[in-house]
Chain A
Amino acid sequence: MSQLISLKGVSKKFILRHHKVSRLKEQIIDFLRGTRYISEEFWALKDITFTVDRGETVGIIGENGSGKSTLLQLLAGILVPDQGKLEVKGKVAPLIELGAGFNPELTGRENIYLNGSILGFKRKEIHHKLKDIIAFSGLQRFIDQPVKNYSSGMYMRLAFSISIHVDPDILLVDEILAVGDLPFQQECFKRIQDFKNKGKTIILVSHDLNTLSTFCDRTLLLHKGELIAQGNTREVIARYVEILGKPDNSEGVKQSISLPGSGEIQRDGPSPQEGKRWGSGEIEITRVTFLDKERKETCQFKTHDPFIARIHYVAHQRIKKPVFGLALISEKDNIQINGPNTRFDNRVIEYLEDRGYVEYIIDRLPLLPGDYWLLVSVWDYECQQVFDAQDRMHKFKVIPGGTPERYGLISIPARWEYYGDQDSEARNRNPLNPES
């Protein structure tokens, strides 16, 4: 077996400056004033050593901020290590962020050529594959339309189709599988499986533990920039889940939400994180209000009442395709009840500007009496960047009266049926399908 990737003690540091964007003017002023430039070192990866052989599929997991993306960027040649030795043999194709190289003014066909050449194709090679790429994207009718007229789904199909037709030795996949609707995702999975069957090497970064266990021969676990476990995927996943649940892992708790609301806020024990807020601030959640069926503001609901959470925001700049997410959390034991977001609901917000609000509407609130927290967050489309997240800063109460049920947390819409022993005919009837 030949070794395609080899890392020996690779470390990568970033310099954190007090201003994200530094300006010459400020530097000159700082210099004249004699103030020292404050900068801080941050080691995103520390002493990483591993190898990958040809034909292997290796998964990488870790919380957000554990260094997964940095590692992938190193493998792709985008970043260079500050220490250690990194060797990658063969053609690397990143399947990161679909459509990054698209120009909206150009047609689909023109973008295939442009994107193809970014991936290192010659014109002839692209020409050769053009038919396949268009066919796989299913956009024959629209291929000579400017990409700006495409829906986001069409955009993704085209981008994925181009990436998948690259014939690399090593395929780097970063969370792309979280994008798109179900049939599209299945197509992606199928193509990746094809790659694997062809004996290609795949590095797969995912938060989706199912994906990892399906595909990966081996998995690496990153934690705060260190490679703390590698080997059998199942064992590594078990270790990962264990880390997520650790109460002393304060950094981890705040970052362990992998998708808005969908991930684990915490596994056990009371959280010290009440009232926590973080994010980069391009979009701010300014206020959260709860509304009843008359759309009047209230903080008290009965079980089975309509429930509306209205999230007011202000966008400080135009942000494309943000994703709003929330989570309902029971105050007792801090149990997360759900974790929906606008993307799961296929509700694509093309862009946000200025102020406005989004509403999360439950027609019949299933929660039983008690106190509940709301976690609200707004993310970029890939769910990589948090603009604003407010963990347990908003609270509402469910009061008795809607249903006599009182055990557990929720009242699931359901019914009881009773069949006496004497009625054998009814017993054979399928209660879920009375007609049969």
Chain B
Amino acid sequence: MQIVERHHNAVLVIRPTGRLDSSNAPLLDQHLSATIDRGDTIFVIDLSTLDYISSIGLSVLLSAAKKVKRAEGRVALAALNERVRTVMEISGFIRIFDIYPSVEAATVSP
């Protein structure tokens, strides 16, 4: 799993690439925890290059969302591919997360 950070419209964008399954989930979990711990509590997770997400991957995103909420920050998910979107729909997570069609849309939204 490769995780890249950049800024878009002055908003932190974190992009994990590859499969978010039980072997990779701890990597993203550590990365997001470190991000939140260092005080970056407003960011977008760009899922455009995420090929697969398992239930443990969903719980990593959920855990980050909970931490951000406690820190009164904001996290959005952007650019889900068809497969990841289907998983979100079937698992009912689509109602939980703040989801945008693109990074652009997620970063300009108030």
The answer on A and B forming one complex is no
Q: Enumerate chain A interface residues (CB-CB to B < 8 A).
A: none
